[in-house]
Structure 1
Amino acid sequence: MLAPPWFDHLPGTADGGGDVLLLVDHAGAAVPPDVALGIPDALLAAHIAVDIGAGPLARALAGRLGAAAFLATLSRLVVDLNRDPDDPRAIPAASDGHAIPGNADLSAAERQARLARFWAPYHDAVAAHVAAARPALIVAVHSFTPALAEGGDPRPWPVGLLYNDDDRAARIALTLLAEAGFDAGDNQPYSGKLLNATMNRHAEARGIPYLALEIRNDGLTDAAGIGRWAEILAPVITVVRNRLA
């Protein structure tokens, strides 16, 4: 296993929600000194490099729930951990209109070496935890931008739930959020049937229910917003876990 800054592991507490596992594939924007992406440093603070606010939100949720967590602090522009390793977009040559020159001409051997260095240790660590602990619920925490630079319609949902074939947990959570007055996206702002790699691997493949949460990142720009969403989502996660038990 690689030590931080590539991913952090929070062990959870035995007397809390230890049967919940939180995963944040895009919690940070770290770039190893020997990886040259060829982009301005300012882009490392943008949504193409990191899920803005997702890491702090997951830490707040872990604290409230006593949940275990894995938070990948590597920039998704180095390796996108929510892609299968044979997906060309696992090491993106471009993202939302921005070229990533350092990724454009990697040889097959260079791609494989980068995936072995970063993708494999993260997913191996998650897989080992899931096999040992068998969590009752896995929760992926992501954030999304209100509008893409490349165009498309604005994304009005403050929160979305993504899923592929297993929608057991999502259906409960969508109902709870609707009852709380939220216009929650049902497989929005994009479909988990098209992009669900981490949950497909660690949850669906093992028959474990999961929530793939997408929070619009303009609600996660400061401590107050992160605290608000932690207060909203922690009880939703708890009720979902309990109803599935």
Structure 2
Amino acid sequence: MRNDRRLHLETEFHRLLGTPVTGGVLVVSDHASNRVPDDIDLGIDAALLDEHIAIDIGVAAIGARMVEAGTAAWLGNVSRLVCDFNRTYDVPGMMPEISDGHAIPGNMLTPQERQARVDRFFDPYHAALAAQLAQTPPALILSLHSFTPGLATCTRPRPWQVGVLYNEDERAARIAIPWLEAQGFVTGDQEPYSGKLLNASMNRHAEPNGLPYLSIEIRQDLIAEEAGQEEWARVMTGLCREVVGKLK
């Protein structure tokens, strides 16, 4: 991959591209990988690992390109089907048994097996991210995700090109939404779902610590190929610059 030369650190649960700096921007992508460790069998067709149920399509490449522009990126290093980092302990979706109509037999786990994955992936991921944020507090966290244009279990299309999510801290969102609209993008305010409900990682690391964050969802068909990834990396870089400048 073109970003390997910028790989700063890799563990079983995350990859760090670039070098985080205090007062900079840190891209955090919980669902950046479709990797399944060799000792885990999800019991699914391998083709599903390239679908939205396994990975946020396009976000790793966008993060890597933003690193080339001078930021840093914290990328999850296992598929969200193995362990979804953007969840809380008490929800089945952390290791889903069904995802968008697809059964995931390898996630029919005993409580002990589930806890083993938490101990192996989830807890170390969040402990390491917390330590990184404490060591080099950023001016902005860009929580970067992507969404499918439509779910197999729902016929309603998703027309937004980009969505901005937030929970209690709306500071960055209120700057980002009008900026994106001014660029001509069809922008969702709490779409295609609400950050009041799906904001676990930022609820854990940003909101209680007063760290400004921007949760962005980009429609996957726009960033599945290199040209779109390059375009949206430029957009995200410009957006972060705008937000950081107005937050000061």
Per the alignment, residue 226 of structure 2 pairs with: 223
1:22-171 to structure 2, matched below 5 A, reads 22-64=27-69, 66-104=70-108, 106-171=109-174
Q: Are the aligned partners of 1:158 and 1:215 in contact in 2 as well (CA < 8 Å)?
A: yes
What is the CA distance between 1:5 and its match in structure 2?
5.0
Aligned residue type for 1:79 = C
- Equivalents in 2 of 1:169, 1:57: separation in Å? 20
Corresponding residue of 1:211: 214
Could you tell me whether the CA contact under 8 Å between 1:27 and 1:54 is conserved in 2? yes
Secondary structure of residue in 2 paired with 1:26: coil
Name 1:241's counterpart in structure 2.
244
Quick one: which amino acid aligns to residue 45 of structure 2?
A: P
1:153-189: per-residue Cα shift (whole Å, max 9, x none)?
Answer: 1000000011111111011010101111111100100
TM superposition score normalised by structure 2: 0.93
Structure 1: unaligned runs, 5 residues or longer: none
Alpha-carbon separation, structure 1, partners of 2:73 and 2:236: 15
**1:111 counterpart letter in structure 2:** R
> What is the identity, as a one-letter code, of the residue corresponding to 2:117?
R
Q: Give the ranges of 4+ consecutive aligned residues of structure 1 lying more than 6 Å apart after TM superposition.
A: none
Aligned-residue identity in percent: 51
Amino acid at match of 1:8: R
* Equivalent pair of 1:6/1:30 in contact (CA under 8 Å): no
Report the RMSD for the aligned CA atoms in angstroms.
1.5
Q: After superposition, what is the alpha-carbon deviation per residue over 1:175-229, rounded to whole angstroms, capped at 9, x for unaligned?
A: 1011111111001000000110001011111111111110000011111110111
Distance in 1, matches of 2:232 and 2:24, equals 21
Letter in 2 for 1:227: E
The CA distance in 1 between the partners of 2:88 and 2:19, in whole Å, is: 27
Deviation at 1:13, TM superposition (A): 6.3
Number of equivalenced pairs: 240
- SS of corresponding position for 1:153: coil
Which residue identity is paired with 1:199?
M
Contact 2:20 2:26 in 1 (8 A): no
2:228 aligned partner, one-letter code: G
Measured after TM superposition, the shift of residue 3 of structure 1 is 4.0
